[in-house]
A and B are shown apart, each in its own frame.
Chain A
């Protein structure tokens, strides 16, 4: 432990209790300026962002929209970049715009020409003051070069003049002596005179030519006019002739048509008179024949009429006798059917009897050809069905079947909708506690008062006792749920009986009315 402390500086420090510290100040390798660095980075980032964004914006439309909408000064940046993309030379040579602005200034000042100053400056030449007044018109301006004339016409005179002028200009430019100038001026004057002469000659010949051309044109015009007038007159006369011809032809056609029409009418008149004469002749003949016949055959006609009348009476009589007979038969059949329906005695042959009677009735009413009766007979239950169910039940049978149905109806009377096992058990138990009603409970709109199962049962009982089967059937068919389904068989039987009764009543009434 001790040995370790001997060597370890920290242990030594702990021993002495003093911490050794260097007196040399800590020298930082680099002075950190965080704010400046931040500013620099920020500006670099901003510049990069604007430049890059603007460049991309010039390439891509969607980026341009976004950049201009959401970046401050975006659109100006984009437009600037766009400008410099197309004016790269300005970007490389920033002073080119200075010249432009200088040109603008020139325009404003109205200066058309400026002297281009050579780079080494203006060189002044010596001017000979003696010669200046002698020359008079010689140019004093130095360092100015007059442009040469460039004109090439085919004319010799003009060419020589131009040459002389060019020589003069060259001489002036070269600042030659006035004597040489004089010579040149003389030659110039000469050529100018020649030019003037030539011009006069040309103008003279030109006016002469024009006058001769005018005369020729006038002569041609008058000749053409005469020709045209003649042609016109000729054509007019031709047209006139044509019109006259056409008119004549039309007149001829019309006259012909009128003649034909008149002829036809005349023929018609002749035919008509002929027909009238024949008619009259016929009439006279038939009158004669009639009078003859009336005299001789009058008795025979009267006899024939009597015979026809008697025949008709006979037929009617036979018909009514037949109708009466069939009526009697139908009546008999109907009454026997009604007896069968309303009887209370049961027999195993009831169904067959009923079917036999119905078949007879159908045969009897078939020749009546009454639509209502035919329909009613067709609507009767089929023989097969009647035979299968043993005809119809008697009233007492219906009542007894109803009585058998009652405990079942009561046991399901308290069922809730869509009842399960518990519902059925509870309905079975609690229906034993119901009081039976009697008489004819009043029916109401309410679902419970007067419409409960006990009221319905009481009403049906009353109707059955009173032999009002139709009302009983209505009550039962208005029941709902399980009760209605349990009473289904009973309803079918009752309805069949009612149906038969109603249809037979209908046939009876119709037979009474129609016969």
Chain B
């Protein structure tokens, strides 16, 4: 059986989107978390709440971008 030469099979359309969403989620929440830790160390005498806040921001950003990826609003094209 020779290979089908299409770029991506139609069966994996949704899965490709999931990949993008999850990786984007990890990156964004990680960024938020990091920013929270930095803020906590620098400004808040190592208190916990800035970390939670940053994580929340990251997750929220990841959620909104994931939403628009599924709705195909095209926030930005990320090739899986």
Contact = CB atoms under 8 A, between A and B. Distances in A.
A390 interface: yes
B14 A489 contact: no
Contacts of B68: 420
B14 A487 contact: no
A408 B2 CA distance: 24
Interface stretch (A119-127, A411-419, A446-454): A411-419
Nearest to B3: A390
Interface string B23-60: 00000000000000000000000000000000000000
B70 A485 contact: no
Sorting the interface of chain A by its residue count into under 10, 10 to 19, 20 to 34 or 35 or more gives 20 to 34
Contacts, number: 55
Contacts of A488: 10
A404 B10 CA distance: 12
Contacts of A389: 2, 4-5
A420 B13 contact: no
Contacts of A411: 14
B63 A486 contact: no
Interface in A452-498: 482, 485-490
A405 interface: yes
A485 B10 contact: yes
- Decide if the interface of chain B is mainly helix, strand, loop or mixed: helix
B39 to A, nearest CB: 27
B14 A412 contact: yes
Nearest to A351: B2
Contacts of B80: none
A489 B11 contact: yes
Given A419-B71, A421-B70, A348 B14 contact: no
Nearest to A387: B2
A421 B14 contact: no
Nearest to A388: B5
A388 to B, nearest CB: 6
A218 B6 CA distance: 131
Nearest to A487: B10
B9 interface: yes
B70 A424 contact: yes
Given A348-B2, A389-B4, A419-B70, A424 B14 contact: yes
Interface in A486-515: 486-490
11 contacts: A389-B4, A390-B4, A408-B11, A421-B67, A421-B70, A485-B13, A486-B13, A488-B10, A489-B6, A489-B11, A490-B10
Interface of A: 346, 348, 351, 388-390, 404-405, 408, 411-412, 418-424, 482, 485-490
Given A486-B10, A486-B11, 14 more contacts: A346-B1, A348-B2, A388-B5, A390-B1, A420-B66, A421-B21, A421-B70, A485-B13, A486-B13, A486-B14, A487-B10, A489-B6, A489-B11, A490-B11
